[in-house]
């Protein structure tokens, strides 16, 4: 254990750890797994990732449990989603076996950076794949580099499980039309930064995006999916322009386990007036309650948590999810992988 780190006060930011793991796809096959202490990569200036955005990434966490064991949560789902991302932009999909082996290895190599149980922190893994072949024509690379680095993190939102406020700004789009400039690299994330910066400057924790076509239905927040509780039903947006969140998928199952109904469907903005609870959910956000949602165009605030406290169902969902991840609640769905240390 690294003695110098203040585990309970970590933020969601990068900290150097001892090792990262890398693997290169070349001549039609993945090579050997390399262990590196280098935080930088040597990249061709014409690499396809730099110009045409051939870059994909994932994010997941390893948790130290009450029993001292270290668990990864639904790692195969991250592997599957990364394969879908690769297929979407003509990159080389990473086999699940290689993905899981490298995830385990980077945790083992950085064991002293896994935060202790009870600190509220965890070891975040960031797998990324980039196209590294030089390209000036718009063509996919034939060589790829896959890296996983690890960094200890605290809560994404500084107040942890305390309800936050988010804002809806209709002038922002997360998918940049090419007519606005050559800024495709980074896709939805880079395009969402303008709205997030505006939200933060106005005292909100995040922007809540609407569907890009009609700007009528809820999509998701910058770094997380959205769900609400309405009359014993867990409702969450069905949309082709949001990330299929593994946390959201898991919370839907937990909601069913708790006897709630689950609806995945388009949610009109105005329906926010009828919900009793709302939250942002994701690996980083876990399930962060939302107290208020400000719709700038309508100059209207939906007050969801009137007493400013997390709602009872969100609290139950949060506790059950965290409990499974930390080995305190029985993992009836077989979602966790214990890492040999």
Pairing type for strands 206-210 and 164-168 reads parallel
Among 220, 277, 292, 295, binds ligand PLP (CB under 6 A): 220
d(C-alpha 30, C-alpha 33), whole Å: 9
Kind plus residue range of the DSSP H or E element containing 279:
strand 277-282
Interface with ligand PLP includes 110 (CB under 6 A)? no
Interface with ligand PLP includes 185 (CB under 6 A)? no
Interface with ligand PLP includes 166 (CB under 6 A)? no
Among 145, 150, 224, 228, binds ligand PLP (CB under 6 A): 224
Q: Which stretch binds ligand PLP (CB under 6 A): 114-122, 175-183, 238-246, 310-318?
A: 238-246
Query: What x-and-dash track marks residues 22-51 binding ligand PLP by CB under 6 A?
Result: ------------------------------
Pairing type for strands 206-210 and 277-282 reads unpaired
| Residues in binding contact with ligand PLP, number by CB under 6 A | 13
Across-strand partners of 338? 71
Contacts of residue 63, defined as CB under 8 A and 6 or more positions apart, other chains included, come to: 70, 71, 73, 122, 123, 325, 326
d(C-alpha 230, C-alpha 223), whole Å: 23
Interface with ligand PLP includes 223 (CB under 6 A)? yes
* Residue number, 277 or 280, with CB nearest to ligand PLP: 280
Closest approach, Cβ 327 to ligand PLP, in A, equals: 20
Among 229, 246, 254, 339, binds ligand PLP (CB under 6 A): 246
Interface with ligand PLP includes 85 (CB under 6 A)? no
Give the DSSP letter of residue 268. Answer: B
Across-strand partners of 187? none
**Residues recorded for the chain:** 341
Interface with ligand PLP includes 245 (CB under 6 A)? yes
* Residue number, 19 or 57, with CB nearest to ligand PLP: 57
Kind plus residue range of the DSSP H or E element containing 124:
strand 122-131
* Residue number, 20 or 60, with CB nearest to ligand PLP: 60
Among 59, 187, 212, 266, binds ligand PLP (CB under 6 A): 59
3-state secondary structure of 323: helix
d(C-alpha 31, C-alpha 24), whole Å: 6
* Residue number, 156 or 302, with CB nearest to ligand PLP: 156
* Residue number, 33 or 262, with CB nearest to ligand PLP: 262
Interface with ligand PLP includes 243 (CB under 6 A)? yes
Q: Which residue has the tokens 């059950």?
A: 320
Site for ligand PLP in 261-300 (CB under 6 A): 282-284
**What's the distance, Cα to Cα, between the start and end of the chain in Å?**
13
Task: Give residue 69's region: left, alpha or beta (phi > 0; psi -120 to 50).
Answer: beta
For ligand PLP, the binding residues (CB under 6 A) are 59, 220, 223-225, 243, 245-248, 282-284
């Amino acid at each position: 254990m690294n003695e110098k780190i203040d585990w309970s006060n970590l933020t969601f930011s990068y900290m150097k750890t001892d090792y990262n793991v890398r693997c290169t796809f070349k001549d039609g096959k993945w090579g050997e797994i390399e262990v590196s202490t280098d935080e930088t990569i040597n990249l061709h200036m014409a690499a396809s990732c730099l110009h045409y955005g051939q870059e994909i990434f994932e994010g997941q966490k390893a948790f130290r449990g009450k029993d001292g064991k270290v668990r990864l949560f639904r790692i195969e789902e991250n592997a599957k989603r990364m394969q879908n991302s690769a297929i979407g932009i003509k990159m080389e999909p990473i086999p699940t076996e290689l993905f899981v082996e490298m995830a385990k290895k980077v945790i083992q190599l950085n064991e002293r950076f896994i935060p202790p149980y009870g600190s509220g922190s965890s070891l975040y893994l960031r797998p990324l794949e980039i196209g590294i072949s030089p390209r000036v024509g718009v063509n996919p690379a034939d060589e790829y580099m896959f890296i996983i680095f690890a960094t200890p993190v605290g809560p994404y939102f500084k107040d942890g499980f305390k309800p936050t406020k988010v804002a809806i700004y209709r002038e922002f789009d997360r998918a940049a039309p090419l007519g606005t400039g050559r800024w495709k690299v980074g896709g939805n994330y880079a395009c969402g930064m303008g709205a997030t910066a505006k939200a933060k400057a106005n005292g909100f924790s995040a922007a809540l995006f609407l569907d890009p076509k009609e700007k009528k239905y809820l999509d998701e927040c910058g770094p997380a999916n959205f769900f609400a509780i309405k009359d014993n039903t867990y409702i969450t947006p069905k949309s082709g322009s949001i990330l299929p969140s593994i946390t959201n998928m898991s919370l839907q199952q937990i909601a069913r386990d708790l006897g709630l109904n689950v609806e995945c469907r388009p949610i009109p903005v105005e329906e926010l007036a009828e919900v009793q609870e709302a939250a942002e959910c994701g690996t980083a956000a876990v399930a962060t309650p939302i107290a208020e949602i400000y719709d700038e165009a309508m100059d209207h605030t939906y007050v969801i948590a009137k007493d400013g406290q997390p709602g009872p169902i969100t609290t139950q969902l949060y506790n059950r999810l965290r409990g499974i991840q930390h080995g305190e609640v029985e993992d009836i769905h077989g979602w966790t992988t214990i890492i040999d240390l």
